[in-house]
Copies of this chain bind each other. A is one copy, B any other.
């Protein structure tokens, strides 16, 4: 186990956020995370699905995944979830920016091996992606649970960074008649595709109808 990770923000410390509620909200706001870990001197950043489980973060994958294998053995990891909220168009090239919310969780993972805990962890993963979906579908078999690896990382060492608001121009640039502003970036869930013929006439289940509705389609 190395010494503690550096949770300080060297650049733009005013964007730093230590508030656990904000960190949790960022973690919940995005479908996927990126997991950083090191193997043989090379860092890897691998996307996967996560979920909150009380004061832990769950990371999901296959038992056959090398990443999950490494995480289950307790290699140090950094899990980052980033929401892109807007493109900040300033009056100078230099002051262009991105509005974002990013949370990083550092720790070593523990694999979940207890049957009931593993079922509830898989449930948290499915519900993170599509709230309400668990109750609509067939639950996992013992064999499927065996093929699933879910590891748990405590939220104890977490930090976040947030940039919001409008463009920041120099006073001299502020006198330029150049359009500036923020172009909001949102995640949109669209009309379902790839629906098998035999279920195409079924009504959309509540889980799907509500996420499509909540994003305004």
Inter-chain contact A208/B189, CB cutoff 8 Å? no
Q: Does A150 contact B (CB under 8 A)?
A: no
Inter-chain contact A65/B11, CB cutoff 8 Å? yes
Q: Does A116 contact B (CB under 8 A)?
A: no
A185 to B199, CA, bound (A): 21
Interface residue count on the A side (C-beta < 8 Å): 104
Among candidates B3, B65, B126, B179, residue contacting A208 with C-beta atoms closer than 8 Å: B179
- Return the chain B residue nearest A136 by Cβ: B178
Inter-chain contact B165/A194, CB cutoff 8 Å? yes
Inter-chain contact B138/A173, CB cutoff 8 Å? yes
A189-217, CB < 8 A from B: 189-196, 198-199, 202-205, 207-208, 211-212
A93 to B194, CA, bound (A): 18
Q: Does A183 contact B (CB under 8 A)?
A: yes
What does DSSP make chain A's interface, helix, strand, loop or mixed?
mixed
Inter-chain contact A189/B185, CB cutoff 8 Å? yes
* Copies of this chain: 2
Min distance, Cβ A180 to any Cβ of chain B, angstroms: 6
A1-24, CB < 8 A from B: 2-6, 10-12
Inter-chain contact B182/A89, CB cutoff 8 Å? no
Min distance, Cβ A69 to any Cβ of chain B, angstroms: 9
Instruction: Please name 21 pairs of A and B residues whose Cβ atoms are closer than 8 Å in the assembled complex, sorted by A.
Output: A3-B41, A4-B42, A10-B65, A11-B66, A32-B84, A37-B43, A38-B38, A46-B102, A47-B82, A47-B100, A84-B187, A86-B193, A87-B189, A90-B137, A93-B123, A94-B141, A96-B126, A96-B133, A174-B198, A182-B194, A187-B188
| Chain A residues in the interface with B (C-beta under 8 A) | 2-6, 10-12, 31-32, 34-47, 49, 61-62, 64-66, 76-80, 82, 84, 86-94, 96, 98, 100, 102, 104, 106, 122-123, 126, 129-130, 133-134, 136-141, 144, 147-148, 165-167, 173-174, 176-196, 198-199, 202-205, 207-208, 211-212
